[in-house]
Chain A
């Protein structure tokens, strides 16, 4: 064989080897995608007012947003792309004015044209909701002053102050664009009805059973969506979800499953199952009710923190619960997050657990709270809430604390949080996008941030937060964040951070075109999903 013919043979062999791979990576059109939504039903269909994945997983395929995190790179904290806009603008007016151009030719599912007025009206309702209308993430938009449609294809956002938190806030996956005409007529219409401009057109909702959508033939993204339609099945029981994936009655669920479910499915289905994992911008927090003695004493709160061995507990818990990473108040790995060295300086993160627990005992004795007995309130959710509680109760017992657990269904649990009728509770902070400057708003007093349940007022807390939020130099903002974090976790011990969650999504291996992100709220419009069948 000559050198030339040898080269040709090698080239042919390589081409042949490459062919199946490229064929497998070429999206195929068609098919109906069936997935599960691990909930009974969404409270309402209006994402502006809801905070649950049950709403987003059911309705995101029907709607467009102004900008979003890149669906091809959802783990990024900075990679934003346009959905309805034509390109991400550069701000003017020292970072306080943002002008967005809206795509031409976008149609609502009723056939009418979507204009900048619709975008402006939707954002006005999010930032300045009409009387009686709830906007669940209002604190995210504190920097926005006005929103106006200056012509049919231009929307201008004017900010009160420049901040790096604006663009991530704008990419909120709950910020659906609704039709102005509908909102003007009835701002509550979207709570019970669906009509968007997204990749799928609403077909049917069976309360507590399923939601279905069909392909939008007029979708503005060329070639998308790939699917003919989808069925989202409401399945609150994990055992049912596993059975459905195993029997291929459904292809996946997007929220995440515990390691045991992953192991079971991999064992039983082999290469028919694919697993995507990643850090989850979600964390459980132990919150003490500052309004109840002795939890009004920072020494007692710090002792609770010092008793917990996070560094050894996290890797062990990761084997049985969907938690993994030790972190501070900021999502680990994001630019504003503390490094391990920085964390280890904070009580509760010291590497020497014996020293920590000795200090915890000393503080409890000093505060007159030796052998303290109290009740830990928890939510009736297995993963990871109950696992976290079982673990910390045992950790606390090692410094002589006697703790019982009170588990409540979600409704009464939130009632108790809001009424401050608990000693200590398992709390949580889950966010849609990695936007640390706003995500840590959870640690502001309740009078400022309604989702804080510590029952305290703290002007210094607010002052440090505002200083960090208004800082636009990344290096200085990071320093300000460390100062704020140290105040929250050390000086006041307002919160005790548990290991950050890990997202584990088992899916049938024929499901392609979806990438896991750090939130179960993002990347849910299903436009890029295709079935390799």
Chain B
């Protein structure tokens, strides 16, 4: 009987996947794949994973394919950190027992899901406003910006062992994200997600370019590419 159920399930998952149905099924259990973004904090607190309804505007396809086969945590304190923090003797600490791991996909499923995700592009208008010029930022200058001038490190890990924990790690950002998305999100996080935990730092066009260049530099470094 059990075997029969498994066969039926497998058959179903094959069919569903062939029709791009995995997004509507498994993925939609934890991700918002239809939009709009959360309109209230109550909804934002309840999020189990990042919104995927604009995945095609956000992610690099090759990274999706790779990560879905070998998922590693990007947000050290989970999607909404508030649900994964407890008070400790020296202050607040992450409660790992509350964190859930992402399901591992086969290469075929990862490739198929990534292709489906890349079709989701409701924010082409925001992306079209960004143009990334070629350029680079010296390591020292970028570090100064992340630390002293902009304070990104308060909430983000800017190196594997340095920075804050509530936001997604920055040292792999450019591996994961399209450059125009990074620029647009830095320019106005609220244009993408009204209740985003990311503040708008009112950066100039020039500084947005520099930040994207620095994120790209960081992600190209040997140990930061995974």
Q: Do A and B bind each other?
A: no
| B interface residue numbers (CB < 8 A to A) | none
